[in-house]
A and B are shown apart, each in its own frame.
Chain A
Amino acid sequence: MNTKSFLFINGRKTFFENERNLLEVIRKAHIDLPTFCYHSELSVYGACRLCIVDIEGRGIVSSCSTKPEQGLKVQTATEELRQIRKISLELLLANHDQNCTSCIKSSACRLQSIARRLGVSEVRFKTVESHKPKDESTFGIARDPNKCILCGDCVRACNEIQGIGAIDFAFRGHEMSVVPSFGKELGDVSCVECGQCARVCPTGALTPKSDIDRLWQLMNDGKKYVVAQVAPAVRVALGESFGMAPGTDVSGQLVAALKYLGMKKVYDTSFSADLTIIEETNEFLQRKTKGENLPLITSCCPAWVKFAEFYFPEFLPNVSTCRSPQQMLGSLVKKVLPKELGMHREDVIMVSIMPCTAKRSEANRSEFALHGTPDVDLVITTQELAMMIQQTGLQFTSLDPEAFDMPFGFKTGGGVIFGNSGGVSEAVLRYAAEKLSGKQLEAEDMQEVRGENGIRQISVNLGGQELKLAVVYGLRNARHLLNEVKKGKVQVDFIEVMSCPGGCVGGSGQPVSFETTTRRERKRSLYRADKTMQLHASQDNPYLAQLYQNVLGEPNGHEAHHLLHTTYRDRSDIFEGEVVLSNPDSREMVELKVCLGPNCLAHGSDEMLGKLVDYVAEEGLTGNVVIVAHHSTEPCEDGVTVHVDDDLVANATFDTVRDTLLQRIQYARENA
């Protein structure tokens, strides 16, 4: 079409093109209608009723769920709309824990800011006195149902971005609430602590958990030598908490601030990211040569690792055995510093500053501790660091910049871009290129790796060898890709997985921002930082060579393995075992195992189990059949999975299971 489409907003002609909904057109026309439940990266929900508009001939509709159409006459601020919005806010506030002053989300709370914007000066309704218990069961995320406004953003983020569905709505009417499955706590379900729920939460209902007080105590304990490591994504986001533009690189002030706070040394996680590249690329190329456990899947992201343990245990051999950069640095520092300082290991405290809520959970994994003292003692998020700086009254923006401490503060660009989705892949390629072709890669070659899509596939020819890579962010995308790999539809050598959209820059420990542009600015800033560095390839980091010489020996060698690598555990059996429903004592016995995992349940496995129990009783087979309910690890996305002895009945129906069962009983009788 040559003519541009237009509609009228408050009488003014407004053109529109590819906007997905009326709300986007209105916002483009410089009117920022408030919303709680609209996120451009999530599906349209239409529940907060704040973006309502009055369309001539149609009446009041929510603009987020309305398609822009030629000639529509839209009013955004009639008296009626104003009243409805105000009443909506009053209704929400009446049912909201109003201890705003002591809320961690205060000042970043959308409920607070929108109420102020809409001029809500009193709540005319009776406030609801409810004190639902808080959920502090995970390391990374705090859940306070009393502050929930039921916008459903967290539910959709968990489902649509991560494909997990650890939380959902339960109950009706005023009883409705967001709960983990079966009413358990988050720590008891298959939550991976990625914190995307907290990132989108407009209020203080879901927040990154805080460990500041413990850190203050440790730093004020004269016996402890507290050192810090800072993840790459932190430096391009922290400034936002002090009014600086998103993407401002505040590395210098950050180091200075940490020193002011009392850190003896400030190291850079980018250093151990370089180290990760050396270890992981060597591991990758070895596997490639041997043709085993491919594709290699990255292991830097702790939420992804947990996800793999929960949902894809069959891919655990593919996951790189490399510890994440945080854990590598923790392990190294705890190896080197106590000796250097002549201190006990437990008196050297390693604190990491991370953009992430899952890193704390990672630091607490038992495999990352020696004699009970963890390699990384404490993890705080970017948000918490900002809070600590504010608590001390430091004037962050006017601090004189300082440099990271050596040697673990020196890095190449390869270690810095780790904070972006695609960064690990690019750094691996920079190293692999030199190893395989002896040449450096140009930035132009990396356009695809640096792309914006949630799933990207890249093929690179290095010295005659074709390397196929896939880069994904969002665990839902990871699930999709892995299923394709399983089916043989996608064949790749290397997969990089980051749980958060855009990688660590979009982590949920970062300063709260509801703007989609923020993440893009952080990402650009990391690539700019890479550009301005003298060294870009991890293998060029001179301190790494020294480290291998003095401490680690060969890459992937014995000591390196001991300090820098790890193992994983199949956690798909979230119920920790199985439930035996009947256990007869007979030699003619057949075992019937029905999966009650979430997918099978959704396909009616509970109902089938009931039918089978009845059938066995009715047919007088109770003496012959052991009935077990369990959580299987078999592929079950298409239907119910049942095992009859060793036979797997996939996509089981009652009839197919019964037939298999009868056959096996017959067989057992004959062989008894």
Chain B
Amino acid sequence: MSEVQTTTVNLEEIAAIYKKNAECLTARVIVCAGTGCIANGSKKIFEQFQQVLEEHGLQSYVDVSFVKEDDHAGIHLSGSGCQGFCQMGPLVTILPEGIMYTKVRMEDVLEIVEETIIKKNLVQRLLYKDPVRKTVCKGIGDIPFYTQQQRFVLKECGYINPEDINEYIAIGGYTAARKAYCEHNADQVCSIIEKSGLRGRGGGGFPTGRKWKVAAMQQSPKKYIICNGDEGDPGAFMDRSVMEGNPHSVLEGMLIAARAIGADEGYVYVRMEYPLAVERVRKAVAAAEALGLLGENIFGSKLNFRITVMEGAGAFVCGEETALIASIEGKRGMPMPKPPFPAESGLFGKPTVINNVETLASVPLIFNLGAENYAAIGTPKSPGTKTFALTGHVSNTGLIEVPFGTPLRKIIFDIGGGVTTKKGIGKIEDFKAVQIGGPSGACISPKYLDLPMDFDSLRSINAMVGSGGLVVMNQETCMVQIARYFMEFTQSESCGKCVLCREGTYQMLTLLDDIIEGRADEKTLVLLQSVARAVSKGSLCALGKTAPNPVLSILRDFREEFEAHVTEKKCKAKKCKALLNPTIIQEKCKGCGLCVKTCPTGAISGEKKKPHVINEALCIKCGACYTACNLKAVA
């Protein structure tokens, strides 16, 4: 046994030293080091800043504890987690002015240093221009993408240095945990969370406080806290951003959860496809251990808590809690029937609370804000905010956070900046659907644009918040193809344990292929519907139960599209090749020749300014002519 720590960490002292050092510096440059911006070269930009600052005689500090007392011209240069506005990355924020530069390139760095940092001028061309209002925005204070949001869990994500525990402490980090360990008993901690109304962000929306209470009630000397960071939905990166941008908030949430249920061991289960998140969480754990925030006798409470970071092996189903537990235990990741729930019998048969990353990151914030104040955000039954990964045919893709109850219209059109089409930003009529909640979520049609987004109203239309993926689709999308896309994903990711999920998703995929390839008849839709229902009702775990959601929701709201595929053998969006039979409508064709240029097989011919024709023998039904034609003359 290691020695019991006799002195407890002094958070105020750490914060004071940090602030004193940071205040010495004249400016702060924050280069977004989220995955999106790194992919666009932000690491090189960071290095470029270091070099250019040095060339200009400016000392840059990555770690402020090294600030020299007499350095009054030093610059705080740090990387941050995802700042959210991925569409416009790489992003560089300059403080204290609150300037946000977008799409920054290597060659822009010199200008930023000389103009903004030294001369305090704005570099106009790097500022964000709002395409709707045609105004130039200085930073997150006036960029509509940010002003329309309420960033709560993500607030510090694009700001603090995720690899510096001192900065987290300087903004009040770990004080909530200290409160939980020193001022409250376990029951009170549960009650605070229960009162806040916090519901699990992993998809189910189960009240977190109630889950904790069940685990707290269990008589067991050993209990576990697991942070579920196995975010596997295609296009979703909320948890990733939190783990990469503010890992300590997750650890603090786990500490508080451990206090609530009496656990002394925790696991952060991160999918291995998130190497940066794994690295940052590991660093965060090590830093917290070094300060005695994790380990033995936390805050002098005589309570112990240790965290192990574990990487998943790439199975989507391991996001399901019982499969995740099996995976940690070293077994094949397959779900088990519930009950027993993990809170009663979980990891190694011990009471275990599994919470999602975002849920845990919300916990310290609730402590700092007060349960009542938190409960006042959002809707009464779905309090708080929710992060969403906004992707697809939308102008501003990125990571957003809004209070529950925000209507889709606001998210897509105000924050997202509207639907895009191949010709740029489209009109409201161009919006066709939004897929919400990942591969097992539903596709929502325009009639629900004003529905408040919260757990219960979404459930009322058989949709779900899920983990928070939002894929926006325009009218050029074929909904049958979308159904097939998600079905292919769930089929290949089904763990294969239960018959309905394994074989049912496979047969649904086969039926969808029949529809797309023109082999379907009216019986196909009936069978598709009945197998989808059977899978959703009878499967073992949530993955199987929700796998048919895209199909069922599309069958409900876009049935005519399915029927057109089946009975008329037509795909309105011209995406299903087998159903294409391109012909040129002679009355509409002006003979512009655009289609001739795009046709890969030279199947189209005709005299200039005269209606063209397609040679069926050469046509491979790729649909390129349909897309190329501006006059809708190809049918």
Q: Which residues of A are at the interface with B, using a C-beta cutoff of 8 A?
A: 44-49, 52, 59-62, 64-67, 80, 83-84, 87-88, 91-92, 94-95, 124-126, 128, 149-150, 152, 168-169, 171-176, 602
Does the CB pair A49–B500 fall under 8 Å? yes
Which listed residue, A62, A173, A175, touches B540 by the CB 8 Å rule?
A62
Given A150-B502, A172-B492, check contact A46 B531 (CB 8 Å): no
Complex CA distance for A319 and B491, rounded to whole angstroms: 50
Chain A residues whose CB sits within 8 angstroms of the CB of B533 once the complex forms: 83
Which listed residue, A48, A95, A125, A172, touches B498 by the CB 8 Å rule?
A48
> Counting CB contacts under 8 A, is B59 at the interface?
no
A86 to chain B: closest residue by CB? B534
> Counting CB contacts under 8 A, is B337 at the interface?
yes
Q: Hey, what's the 0/1 contact readout for B359-387 against A, CB within 8 Å counting as 1? A: 00000000000000000000000000000
Smallest CB-CB A-B distances: 3 pairs: A176-B496, A65-B337, A91-B503
Chain B residues whose CB sits within 8 angstroms of the CB of A44 once the complex forms: 337
> Counting CB contacts under 8 A, is B505 at the interface?
yes
CB distance from B358 to the nearest CB of A (A): 26
Chain B residues whose CB sits within 8 angstroms of the CB of A48 once the complex forms: 498-499
Given A67-B339, A87-B530, A94-B503, check contact A173 B492 (CB 8 Å): yes
CB distance from B144 to the nearest CB of A (A): 42
> Counting CB contacts under 8 A, is B537 at the interface?
yes
Which listed residue, B332, B339, B503, B530, touches A95 by the CB 8 Å rule?
B503
> Counting CB contacts under 8 A, is B495 at the interface?
yes
Does the CB pair A173–B506 fall under 8 Å? yes
Chain B residues whose CB sits within 8 angstroms of the CB of A94 once the complex forms: 503, 507
Given A67-B339, A87-B534, check contact A124 B527 (CB 8 Å): yes
Complex CA distance for A628 and B317, rounded to whole angstroms: 37
CB distance from A78 to the nearest CB of B (A): 11
13 A-B pairs in the complex with CB atoms less than 8 angstroms apart: A45-B497, A46-B498, A47-B497, A47-B498, A49-B498, A49-B500, A49-B539, A60-B538, A80-B537, A149-B499, A169-B334, A172-B495, A173-B492
Chain B residues whose CB sits within 8 angstroms of the CB of A66 once the complex forms: 337, 339
Does the CB pair A173–B337 fall under 8 Å? no
Which listed residue, B334, B491, B498, touches A174 by the CB 8 Å rule?
B491
Does the CB pair A172–B504 fall under 8 Å? no
Does the CB pair A47–B503 fall under 8 Å? no
* Interface core residue of B339, B503, B506, B530 (most chain A CB under 10 Å): B503
Does the CB pair B500–A60 fall under 8 Å? no
Which listed residue, A60, A92, A128, A175, touches B499 by the CB 8 Å rule?
A92
Q: How many B residues face the partner with a CB closer than 8 A?
A: 35
Does the CB pair A172–B534 fall under 8 Å? no
Tell me the B563-606 residues at the A interface (CB within 8 Å): none
CB distance from A151 to the nearest CB of B (A): 8
Complex CA distance for A44 and B491, rounded to whole angstroms: 24
Chain B residues whose CB sits within 8 angstroms of the CB of A152 once the complex forms: 497
CB distance from B581 to the nearest CB of A (A): 25
Tell me the B201-242 residues at the A interface (CB within 8 Å): none
Complex CA distance for A122 and B283, rounded to whole angstroms: 59
Tell me the B445-501 residues at the A interface (CB within 8 Å): 491-500
Complex CA distance for A169 and B323, rounded to whole angstroms: 14
Complex CA distance for A245 and B500, rounded to whole angstroms: 36
Chain A residues whose CB sits within 8 angstroms of the CB of B495 once the complex forms: 172, 176
Given A48-B499, A66-B339, A67-B339, check contact A88 B510 (CB 8 Å): no
Q: Hey, what's the 0/1 contact readout for B332-344 against A, CB within 8 Å counting as 1? A: 1010110100000
Does the CB pair B337–A174 fall under 8 Å? no
Complex CA distance for A177 and B348, rounded to whole angstroms: 26
CB distance from A84 to the nearest CB of B (A): 4
Which listed residue, B336, B496, B538, touches A84 by the CB 8 Å rule?
B538
Which listed residue, B315, B336, B523, touches A172 by the CB 8 Å rule?
B315
Chain A residues whose CB sits within 8 angstroms of the CB of B539 once the complex forms: 49
B540 to chain A: closest residue by CB? A46
Tell me the B303-353 residues at the A interface (CB within 8 Å): 315, 317, 330, 332, 334, 336-337, 339
Which listed residue, B315, B497, B504, B540, touches A91 by the CB 8 Å rule?
B504
Complex CA distance for A152 and B494, rounded to whole angstroms: 16
CB distance from A57 to the nearest CB of B (A): 14
Does the CB pair B491–A49 fall under 8 Å? no
Complex CA distance for A128 and B339, rounded to whole angstroms: 34
A89 to chain B: closest residue by CB? B499
Which listed residue, A65, A84, A173, touches B494 by the CB 8 Å rule?
A173
Given A124-B527, A125-B507, A173-B491, check contact A168 B332 (CB 8 Å): yes
Complex CA distance for A132 and B492, rounded to whole angstroms: 19
Which listed residue, A46, A149, A171, touches B336 by the CB 8 Å rule?
A46
Does the CB pair B510–A125 fall under 8 Å? yes
Does the CB pair B538–A49 fall under 8 Å? yes
Does the CB pair B534–A83 fall under 8 Å? yes
Given A65-B337, A174-B491, A176-B496, check contact A602 B530 (CB 8 Å): no
Does the CB pair A174–B500 fall under 8 Å? no
CB distance from A81 to the nearest CB of B (A): 8
Given A62-B337, A176-B502, check contact A126 B510 (CB 8 Å): yes
Chain B residues whose CB sits within 8 angstroms of the CB of A45 once the complex forms: 497
Complex CA distance for A49 and B503, rounded to whole angstroms: 12
Chain B residues whose CB sits within 8 angstroms of the CB of A62 once the complex forms: 337, 540
CB distance from B140 to the nearest CB of A (A): 42
Chain A residues whose CB sits within 8 angstroms of the CB of B494 once the complex forms: 172-174
Which listed residue, A59, A67, A83, touches B530 by the CB 8 Å rule?
A83
Complex CA distance for A634 and B531, rounded to whole angstroms: 53
CB distance from B310 to the nearest CB of A (A): 13
Chain A residues whose CB sits within 8 angstroms of the CB of B315 once the complex forms: 172
Chain A residues whose CB sits within 8 angstroms of the CB of B492 once the complex forms: 172-175
Complex CA distance for A251 and B504, rounded to whole angstroms: 49
CB distance from B46 to the nearest CB of A (A): 30
Does the CB pair B493–A47 fall under 8 Å? no
* Interface core residue of A48, A62, A91, A149 (most chain B CB under 10 Å): A91
Chain B residues whose CB sits within 8 angstroms of the CB of A92 once the complex forms: 499, 503
Chain A residues whose CB sits within 8 angstroms of the CB of B534 once the complex forms: 83-84, 87-88
B316 to chain A: closest residue by CB? A172
CB distance from B604 to the nearest CB of A (A): 37
CB distance from A93 to the nearest CB of B (A): 10
Given A87-B531, A88-B538, A94-B507, check contact A169 B332 (CB 8 Å): yes
CB distance from A172 to the nearest CB of B (A): 6
Does the CB pair B332–A88 fall under 8 Å? no
Tell me the B42-63 residues at the A interface (CB within 8 Å): none
Q: Hey, what's the 0/1 contact readout for B534-551 against A, CB within 8 Å counting as 1? A: 100111100000000000
B317 to chain A: closest residue by CB? A172
Chain A residues whose CB sits within 8 angstroms of the CB of B504 once the complex forms: 87, 91
Chain B residues whose CB sits within 8 angstroms of the CB of A176 once the complex forms: 495-496, 502
Given A65-B337, A173-B493, check contact A84 B507 (CB 8 Å): no
CB distance from A614 to the nearest CB of B (A): 19
* Interface core residue of B317, B498, B504, B505 (most chain A CB under 10 Å): B498
CB distance from A311 to the nearest CB of B (A): 20
Chain B residues whose CB sits within 8 angstroms of the CB of A46 once the complex forms: 336-337, 498, 540
Does the CB pair A91–B337 fall under 8 Å? no
* Interface core residue of A52, A84, A149, A172 (most chain B CB under 10 Å): A172
Chain A residues whose CB sits within 8 angstroms of the CB of B530 once the complex forms: 83, 87
Given A60-B537, A66-B339, check contact A84 B491 (CB 8 Å): no
Chain B residues whose CB sits within 8 angstroms of the CB of A88 once the complex forms: 499-500, 503, 534, 538
Complex CA distance for A125 and B530, rounded to whole angstroms: 12
CB distance from B587 to the nearest CB of A (A): 43
Does the CB pair B506–A47 fall under 8 Å? no
Complex CA distance for A16 and B23, rounded to whole angstroms: 72
